[in-house]
Amino acid sequence: MELVSRFLPVPEQSFFLFGPRGTGKSTWLKEKFPEALFVDLLKQDTFRRLSARPERLEELVAGTPNAEVVVIDEVQRVPELLHTVHHLIEQKSARQFIMTGSSARKLRRGGVDLLAGRAVVRTMHPFMAAEMQSFYLDAALQTGLLPIVLAADAPDDVLSAYVSLYLEEEVQREGWVRNLGNFARFLEAVSFSHSSVLNVSNVARECQVERRTVQGFLEVLTDLLLCFTVPVFTKRAQRQTTTHPKFYYFDAGVYRSLRPHGPLDRAEEIDGGAFEGLVAQHLKAWIAYSGTATDLYFWRTRAGTEVDFVVYGDLGFWAIEVKNSAEVRSQHLRPLKSFRAAYPECQTALLYRGNERLLIDDIWCLPGEKFLQELRPGTNLGDQTIG
C-alpha cells in the first residue's frame, strides 16, 4: 500500500504522541527519526526491566550519547518513566523525547502534569483521504481508515480482532472494569448511538446495568481513545438547544465491526452512520493537524432541528450537513437554512453521495468523496469549498 507522508507536523520540542493502536504512530516515528533511540515497552523484556527499575532509562540514554531523539513507545505501560524523562529534560540538553501512548488513562493518573510546559501533546488519527494515493469512499465506509487494517490481507479479520485486543490487553489486564462481559455488551449497545445524541440512560437500559456503570464504561472508552464526543454549539444561541453531546467511534470501520447486523437493522441506517462518522473523524484530524484555534460542534434545537457539524474558529465558520443520498432533496437543506437564519455570518455546505457540485439557495452541495479527498490541514474550508 503506497502512502504519501502523514499530515501530522513534527514539533521541535519534546512531545507526547497519543493515538489508538494501529494508527501508525511507531511507523511514522521510525520514518521521521531513523537514528533515534527506541524504547519499546510492548517488548516484554524491556517492559520488565524498566518496570522494576525506571531509572534504568537514564542509563540507556547515557549509553547512547549520539542519539538526539529518544522515543518511548507505549509509555503508559510504565508511567513512572515520566519522572526520569522530566529529570533528563531539566538537564537542558538538546535531546528530544517523544513518548507515544494508546491510552491516556494511566498517564493521567500517573503524572503527565509533571511535564506540563516541557512536552506538548499531539494526536495521530486514522488516515485522512488526502494522505492516500487512492481513496474510495465505498471501501472506507466498510473497513475504515486504520493503517493496520488497510495494510492487512484480510481487513475484516483484523477489524473483528481489533476490539478484542483492547479488551484483553488493556481493559482486562489493568482491571479497569469489574465485569468484562458487561463492557463487551456496552461496546455493542453504544454503537447504536454512533453519530447520534448520546443518552446514557438509554444505553444503560439496553445493557441492563446502572447509569453510573455506563458512565464509567464511557470514560474507559474515551481514555482508550476509541471514541470522541462532539458538543452542541451554543454561542449566541437564540433558541433552546439540547445539552447532550453526539457520540462517535473514532473510525468508521471499528464502528461497523461493533454495530449489530441483522434482519431488523436497516443497511441504509448503518451506512448513514458510517458516512457521518467518516466525515467526523476527518474533521477532527483536520483541526488537530492544522494547529489553529478551531473547534468542532453540532447544533440541535429542543424542537429537533439538527445540523451535523459546526466548524467554528480560525479555519472558518461553517455549518455542514451529511446525507447518505445520491441526490439533494429540499428537506436536506432545511436544517442548514434554520441555522443560517440564526447565524447569518456562517457558510453552509451539504455533503452527499452524488457526483455533482451544486449551489442551491447559497448552500454548497458537494460530493462527499471529493470533499474528503481535498480536505487538507491548514486550509480554510471556504478556500477549499469555493475555490
Closest CA to 138 of 331, 372, 377, 375: 372
The CA–CA distances, whole Å, from 144 to 37, 254, 279, 310, 322 equal: 32, 7, 11, 23, 17
Which grid coordinates are listed for 304? 429537533
Average pLDDT over residues 6-31: 93
Number of CB atoms found within 10 A of residue 83's CB: 16
More confident residue, 380 or 369: 369
32 alpha-carbon distance from chain centroid:
22
| pTM summary value | 0.93
Which structural domains are found in the chain, ordered by start? 15-124 (3.40.50.300), 130-386 (no CATH)
Give the integer Cα–Cα distance in Å for 252 and 271. Answer: 10
Locus of grid cell 462532539: 230
Give the integer Cα–Cα distance in Å for 259 and 265. Answer: 9
- Sequence-ordered alpha helix ranges (H) in the chain: 25-32, 44-52, 56-62, 81-90, 105-110, 137-143, 147-150, 155-166, 173-174, 180-189, 200-207, 211-223, 252-258, 267-290, 330-342, 368-374, 381-386
Tell me, what's the pLDDT at 168?
74
Q: Is the pLDDT of residue 337 over 50?
A: yes
Tell me, what's the pLDDT at 384?
65
Average pLDDT over residues 23-43: 94
Element (H, E) at 246: strand 246-249
Per-residue model confidence as pLDDT tens digits over 128-178 = 999 998 999 999 999 999 999 999 999 999 998 998 887 777 787 777 788
> What string of DSSP letters covers 46-110?
HHHHHHH-TTHHHHHHHT-TT-SEEEEETGGG-TTHHHHHHHHHHTT-S-EEEEEES-SHHHHHH
Q: Is the pLDDT of residue 84 over 60?
A: yes
Q: Is 1 helix (H, G, I), strand (E, B) or coil?
A: coil
The CA–CA distances, whole Å, from 351 to 109, 125, 321, 372 equal: 41, 22, 6, 10
Q: Any idea what DSSP says for residue 182? A: H
Per-residue model confidence as pLDDT tens digits over 58-76 = 999 999 999 999 999 999 8
Per-residue model confidence as pLDDT tens digits over 177-233 = 888 888 989 999 999 999 999 999 999 999 999 999 999 999 989 988 999 999 999
